[in-house]
Structure 1
């Protein structure tokens, strides 16, 4: 096994307490829960409750999510320039948890009557929610770089993060539908958001920052040029961006696929989302054993290849509930194997780039990765709405046209298949990186004294 295959130094024993790793994972339970709610139920809310046309929805998803993408680098610059909290990232996680929950509730509010008023409110509330989300998720994503420089710790943190993320997916699929059914969209989402605000603050109560992020005073163009010279960062950024398109397709089309292709109710779509959460969490857990033995690139390749095979079997299978659930679970299980590996590679790619280019700008490095991911999320959201419009989807029609059903099927199964194939190709471009590069960066780390 060579280092080109993806193994990294770091020892075999975790230095971080278990409670910190578990608490860190809860942050992405909220983050991924937000993605799930806005990527599935909010889209469904806009088309089937508000009555927004698919074309209007496509424009909203594209423009708003592009704006959200640009807010990430702004937050990264604030962190690198010591704009708030003296360069610490934990206070962001603490102070923006409640505003994030309130902004989510606002997206499902209907304070204005009339199509024009509701459309304007949708734009304003959704734009505000995404900007506030940047102030939470970018600092949260940087926590592994401030908690430890050890590869084993970062892989473990990535694993717990992905367990939290997939648990968030499960809760979105299992708790949100009954909450909406019993209390309506506004009150149901409000209860979920209130619980999410409390959970989102747990990392700030338990986790500790031990490594100070070095400030970056260089011109922005110099910093961005250093990122583009870091091949490892570029490859991981592309791979994670593709993953967001995959995730958007599953979230965005699950309810539509259940109702209009399978002929089942919306609850079955929620069940598929719940299954996605449970089985991805299982895949993430298995990844912590598989990835260190196979290497990063082989683990990702194996996961996506098996996931693509599962998609074909799901498409060919008869409309039997238990069989469809089982096959979809396998698809998501193998997707889950790749997730913690991606985030471990990202954390180390940021450190490696600092050594290779001499530019230390962890905030902008992570936020530009998040920018690319959110741009892909924007493209995915636009793709969901565009496919619905292309197929002639009518939110008020009980029975959809054959073209609409074909568009939904391609979005739910075809898009993830294409993403898997492209991801396998992209990840092969990840360069071999010497252990000395990572270790030299670790030696230069700025350690925060114990309190």
Structure 2
């Protein structure tokens, strides 16, 4: 068996980290835009009912989970002179940005059913394109380095990229919601501008990242891939936790703008809530690698889940007349969820080595796709649950004031959902089997096997393992 080594392993540089962070900033100019504002766009601009909009979010996000698996399989079969992952940034970035514009440009004059159909199809096609950018993006981290602390640092920089994009969204979009005389025109114009910036960031990502971790050049069959994922216990447990965490996280993200506008009384509070959450993400950038070095990824993940739950309680119970309490609670939530997000990606990269150690095959794309599949399921459940909660509470799109039942439902959805679901996700991780010491031992065995295969391939002998 031959071995493909795209490059010689080296220490990651600031250029690598910044390029990688820029890639997730580009991802979130479309993805986070949809997470934060698509439900509001559907209900208050397009005029869809909360029930129909919620059904679209649920169906399409589950569809996106399936497209993630398809993209992961394509990635694992890709071999080019640019590597396995980088070509997708170059060739799929532009279509994704164009589809982002289409997503927030439902044509006027359509019937209710026509608008719903356009929304469903445009979001589904957008989701397909996003899978073919995001799966290679997430997978490339495990091909850039095998060092746990470098992986943790990559995950932290990724969180910075997401945070910067989220802040930009809040500052640009929230004032439009509050004051724009033509929200449809505003959404379309904003998405065109984001598309230009996002494409530049994808080109920069392509030019900066390098795939240096050796992997077997022989293609991995679908049967081998499915068998390896099914027996990868760390990956399975991480995926179960991810469903729960993302459910709680996306209820909050979906209802946050309603919380700001209807509970606190001004859509511009979205900026303050977002900034506090993002400040937590920035604060965690230097902290996460240190937590990993001292306590390990598993223990840090569980502690971050508990901190997130505390922030959620504060969000739910903060009096509407005291917005400072809500803003501070969003900051606490931001600290916890930022650490979980960074650690989740670092833990996923470790499951790649576990699969290679346990099953003898290295499937970066499929491992990442499996985690992304479960995350998308959680996102779909979270978005659908948020819309369902709004509908049941009697929310009226475009109304100057909402019923007290609706305001209470928004508060409790925004706060108690992450408390319950993220807390349960942390409990699931108590069964995660890889400690840092076990991972180092396992990685040493994997490296030794690779060296044996390389020597055997050079001498013409069959490998001993």
**What TM-score does the superposition give when structure 1 sets the normalisation length?**
0.89
CA contact (8 A) 1:85 1:91 kept: no
CA distance in 2, matches of 1:444, 1:163: 36
Q: Distance in 1 between matches of 2:162 and 2:216?
A: 28
Flag the 1:307–1:111 CA change in 2: closer, same or farther, 3 A.
closer
Residues 149 and 442, structure 1, Cα contact 8 Å, conserved in 2: no
- Higher Cα Rg: structure 1 or 2? 2
- Aligned partner of 2:360 in structure 1 is 358
The aligned counterpart of 1:321 is 323
CA contact (8 A) 2:238 2:432 kept: yes
Query: Which residue does the alignment assign to 2:102?
Result: 106
- Asked if structure 2 preserves the Cα contact closer than 8 Å seen for 1:167 and 1:278, the reply is no
Aligned partner (choices 364, 367, 370) of residue 369 of structure 2 = 367
Distance 2:332 2:199 in 1: 31
Q: Across the two proteins, how many residue pairs are aligned to each other?
A: 435
Tell me what 1:15 maps to: 11
Q: 1:140 aligns with which of 137, 143, 155?
A: 137
Q: Secondary structure at the match of 2:357?
A: helix
Structure 1: 5+ residue stretches without partners: 1-13
* Worse-matched range after superposition: 15-24 or 206-215: 206-215
Corresponding residue number in structure 1 for 2:333: 331
Change (3 A) 1:343 1:39: same
Contact 2:101 2:191 in 1 (8 A): yes
Which residue in the other structure is 1:276 paired with? 277
Match of 1:242 among 223, 226, 244: 244
- Aligned partner of 2:61 in structure 1 is 65
SS of the aligned residue for 1:201 comes to helix
Structure 2 distance, partners of 1:213, 1:138, is: 18
5 Å matches for 1:249-398?
249-262=251-264, 264-318=265-319, 319-398=321-400
User: Does residue 1:227 correspond to 2:229, yes or no?
Assistant: yes
For residues 449 and 94 of structure 2, what CA distance do their matches in structure 1 show?
36
Please, which of 31, 42, 47 is the counterpart of residue 46 of structure 1?
42
Q: Describe the SS at the equivalent of 2:216.
A: coil
- Which string of whole-angstrom CA distances, capped at 9 and with x for unpartnered residues, describes residues 181-200 of structure 1? 56611112221222122123
Q: 1:408 to 1:21 in 2, by over 3 A?
A: same
> What corresponds to 1:56 in structure 2?
52
Deviation (angstroms), 1:418: 0.5
Q: 1:176 aligns with which of 173, 176, 192?
A: 173
Q: 1:79 and 1:86, CA in 2 relative to 1: closer, same or farther beyond 3 A?
A: farther
1:304-331: CA deviation from partner (whole Å, max 9, x where unpaired): 2223223323433343233322222122
Give the counterpart of 2:72 among 59, 63, 76. 76
Per the TM alignment, residue 138 of structure 1 is displaced from its structure 2 partner at its CA by 0.3
Superimposed CA distance per residue, residues 136-188 of structure 1 (whole angstroms, 9 cap, x where no aligned partner)? 00001111122122223212211211221222222221233346756611112
Give 1:337 deviation, angstroms: 2.3
1:117-156 paired onto structure 2 within 5 Å: 117-156=114-153
Q: Distance in 2 between matches of 1:178 and 1:445?
A: 55
Q: 1:207-230 CA distances to partner (integer Å, 9 max, x unpaired)? A: 111235435755534422321211
Distance in 2, Cα, partners of 1:246 & 1:285: 25
Q: Distance in 2 between matches of 1:335 and 1:440?
A: 33
Give the secondary structure class of the aligned counterpart of 1:136.
Answer: helix
Distance 1:133 1:48, change over 3 A: same
Q: Residue 440 of structure 1 corresponds to which residue in structure 2?
A: 445
Q: Is the 8 A contact 1:245 1:376 kept in 2?
A: yes
Displacement of 1:431:
0.3
Following superposition, the deviation at residue 131 of structure 1 comes to: 0.5
Tell whether the 8 Å contact from 1:167 to 1:281 is kept in structure 2 after alignment. no
1:29–1:168 contact (8 Å) kept in structure 2: yes
**Matched residue SS, 1:208:** coil
1:444 Cα shift?
A: 4.8
For 1:325 and 1:445, the matched residues in 2 are separated by 51
